[in-house]
């Protein structure tokens, strides 16, 4: 029996588009379904200044195929040399929509990130004054903390003190991966929200490790226990306005994934909406999908929801997606959700 749902077209509130040949390959896959996206600034070199963001936005728009409707929402990469005046001017001009905090060494291309948080307080204080959101990769990077505990330790030792010091700062805790993170976002006082990724809803660490290491499931923050996956699913499908979609679609060439020291990231842009419909149906919450994918994020960032709509149809035959995408520099593997997907995106 055919089943259809129609929602406002979604946005992606955490997206890696990379640059050059990779950008040209992956951008159409996002623009096919998503109207807007918060663009991550961790290029090499990173997008640090307003001039950097403007130039990157121009490259994105040049790479966008003719006839596709897509708006990149630019961000700046926070460093200990970031100029508060440059940040404020970029926000006032409408060029940027957030600033991204990467603890140094936390993830891909984060080596230029923040080592001592106090050193960026002048920037954060200005952001609190003007209402500019701070997007946070919420993990500590000290070697004595187990990789599976880094989010929880960050909440206790970094985020909570930061928000006590700067209660007016608007914070988005990106790619929440633990029940602790979910509880913090749901219950904390003040201006906070959390994004949840496609792949953390679909898989847990057993998928990555049992029966052999699967490098295309390796991401940062790393996938956690099944109990945390359940907490993420419950939050995403709850209808709570503090939780919304940030795919963290993060493409890497296969040669960089399938190696002795592989890169972190899952490329999920093409099949995210089919994955989400699958999850929300399993959780008995298809009526909450529009809020998570299309409404809560725009409300968070002070933007109107999209007027255009998307229809998804459940069919007996599963969706078919390419296993790999070819770039001039090599192949790129699509995230495998580990289950057949029967929700087809029609429009």
What's the per-residue H, E or C state across 239-305?
Answer: CCCCEEECCCECCCCHHHHCCCCCCCCECCCCCHHHHHHHHHHHCCCHHHHHHHHHHHHHHHCCCCC
Q: Between the CA atoms of 136, 142, 145 and 148, what dihedral angle is there, to the nearest 10 degrees?
A: 40
Handedness of CA 326, 217, 47, 95 (dihedral sign): positive
Residues 80/114, Cβ–Cβ less than 8 Å: yes
- Residues annotated as part of the active site: 248
> How much helix, strand and coil, in percent to the nearest 5, is found in the chain?
40, 20, 45
Question: ∠ CA(200), CA(31), CA(338), 5° rounding?
Answer: 30
Q: What is the DSSP string of 147-160?
A: GGGHHHHHIIIIIH
């Amino acid at each position: 029996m055919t089943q259809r749902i129609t929602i406002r077209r979604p946005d992606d509130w955490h997206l890696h588009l990379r640059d050059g040949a990779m950008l040209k390959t992956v951008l159409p896959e996002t623009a096919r379904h998503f109207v807007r996206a918060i663009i991550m600034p961790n290029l090499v070199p990173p997008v640090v200044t307003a001039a950097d963001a403007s130039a990157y936005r121009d490259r994105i728009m040049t790479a966008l195929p003719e006839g596709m409707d897509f708006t990149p929402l630019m961000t700046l990469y926070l460093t200990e040399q970031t100029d508060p005046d440059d940040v404020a001017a970029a926000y006032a001009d409408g060029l940027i929509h957030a600033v991204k905090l990467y603890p140094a060494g936390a993830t891909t291309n984060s080596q230029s990130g923040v080592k001592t948080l106090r050193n960026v307080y002048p920037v954060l204080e200005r952001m609190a004054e003007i209402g500019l959101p701070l997007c946070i990769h919420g993990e500590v990077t000290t070697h004595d903390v187990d990789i599976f505990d880094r989010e929880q330790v960050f909440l206790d030792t970094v985020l909570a003190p930061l928000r006590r010091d700067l209660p007016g700062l608007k914070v988005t805790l990106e790619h929440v991966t633990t029940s602790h993170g979910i509880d913090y976002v749901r219950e904390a006082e003040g201006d906070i929200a959390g994004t949840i990724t496609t792949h953390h809803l679909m898989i847990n660490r057993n998928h990555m490790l049992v029966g052999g290491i699967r490098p295309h499931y390796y991401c940062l923050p790393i996938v956690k226990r099944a109990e945390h996956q359940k907490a993420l699913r419950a939050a995403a499908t709850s209808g709570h306005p503090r939780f919304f979609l940030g795919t963290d679609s993060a493409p890497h060439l296969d040669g960089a994934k399938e190696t002795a020291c592989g890169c972190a990231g899952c490329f999920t842009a093409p099949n995210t909406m089919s994955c989400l419909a699958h999850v929300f149906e399993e959780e008995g919450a298809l009526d909450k999908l529009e809020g998570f994918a299309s409404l809560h994020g725009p409300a968070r960032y002070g933007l109107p929801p999209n007027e255009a709509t998307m229809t998804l149809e459940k069919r007996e035959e599963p969706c078919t997606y390419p296993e790999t995408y070819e770039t001039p520099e090599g192949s790129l593997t699509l995230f495998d959700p580990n289950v057949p997907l029967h929700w087809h995106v029609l429009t």
